[in-house]
Amino acid sequence: MLADLKELVQCESFSDDHAAVARSAEVVGALGTRLLEAEPETIVIDGVAHLRWAFGTPRVLLVGHHDTVWPIGSLRSRPWSVAGPIARGPGVLDMKAGLVQMFHALASLPSPDGVCILVNGDEEVGSPTSRHLIEETARGCVAAFVLEAAADERGALKTARKGTSRYEVVVHGRAAHAGQEPHKGVNAAVEAAHQVLALAGIGAAAGAAHPLLGAATVTPTLLSAGSARNTVPATARVSVDVRVPTAAAQDRIDALVRELTPRTPGARLEVLGGPGRPPMEPESSSDLFALASHVASELGQAPLSAAAVGGASDGNHIAASGCPTLDGLGAVGGGAHADTEYVEVAQMVPRARLLAELMRRTVR
């Protein structure tokens, strides 16, 4: 498993580099072909390479992604390494170790019949080209297991996730000389400041906090304005990250964002973007988590814990399509998307065994 993980980590696969993602798809496809004795279907959508294996009539769906957040060249400063119980390297936790565990788990069964594997190449950027493929593949399945990393260093499974929406509020003003005729301009930067404050207050209007997932959050993130130091800004942009516990909160916030109105005379607002991944609510995972807890006990593993998290994954799309979904079955470690990213090597085999037994019991 470590040899396979090394091969995947050393093939860099930054989401925005489609050529790198294509090379990664070849490496992941070759690994799956060797272990499963079957070649994948390679599906390229808008230049992004996705992989799918289907054995018989699929009842169980295994989901992972092979793209990472790490730009090409990250291996030079964060090389693959194994030091004692810890493996490191860009994407080792999120989620190349999960892919290795997935392939080895399925290969350990007497037959892969009834299982479908889907590995997409754009999860880290919101799955824009693969969402329809994911939802289409999930329909008709009785269970989906997502190989994203565990929620914490104890190996907690992810039983609920917030949904996400992304917006860009574009402020249109009017340029003018900042020294000679500032009064003739419409300052888009000043209007953007009003909108940042308005956006920050929207989360509280989305409704009561969810008992597990907490309250909705609306966070202005990237800000930009103007073209020159001596010019009244004609344009400003505000990027907004939204996390929601329920579909109702997502709809409510979407309406409130689109109802924003300018405060500066002469300014005009344009709202781009909208809802992305729907929430993965706890009901979608409760039965599968109970089964996983029972299986872990039978295997002599430590008791499983459940976690509700703010980050979204492709599990959100699958759960929203009506397929029971359990997430976080991948590697145990920490530091995802950070320089400290690592995997606990000793947990790879037990996690693969847990997944294999879950497949065996749900594919019937």
The tens digit of pLDDT for each residue in 122-167 reads 999 999 999 999 999 999 899 999 999 999 999 999 999 999 999 9
Does residue 94 surpass a pLDDT of 90?
yes
Under the banding of pLDDT at 50, 70 and 90, the label for residue 301 is: very high
Taking only the tens place, the pLDDT of each residue in 212-246 is 888 999 999 999 999 999 999 999 999 999 999 99
Mean pLDDT of all residues in 245-262: 95
Please, what are the domains in the chain? Answer: 2-161+279-362 (3.40.630.10), 163-275 (3.30.70.360)
pLDDT at 324: 98
- Taken in order 120, 122, 124, 125, the sign of the CA dihedral is negative
pLDDT at residue 354 above 80? yes
Check residue 136 and give its pLDDT.
Answer: 95
Residue 63 confidence (pLDDT): 98
Residue type, 44: V
- For residue 213, which of 241, 240, 250, 239 has the smallest C-alpha distance? 250
Query: Looking at residue 212, what is its pLDDT?
Result: 84
Would the pLDDT of 207 be above 80?
no
Q: Which two tokens stand for residue 315?
A: 């599990």
Q: Are 247 and 163 in contact (CB under 8 A)?
A: yes
What pLDDT is stored for residue 126 in this prediction?
92
The per-residue pLDDT for 364 is: 80
Residue 208 scores a pLDDT above 80: no
pLDDT of 363 above 90: yes
Would the CA dihedral through 305, 312, 320, 238 be positive or negative? positive
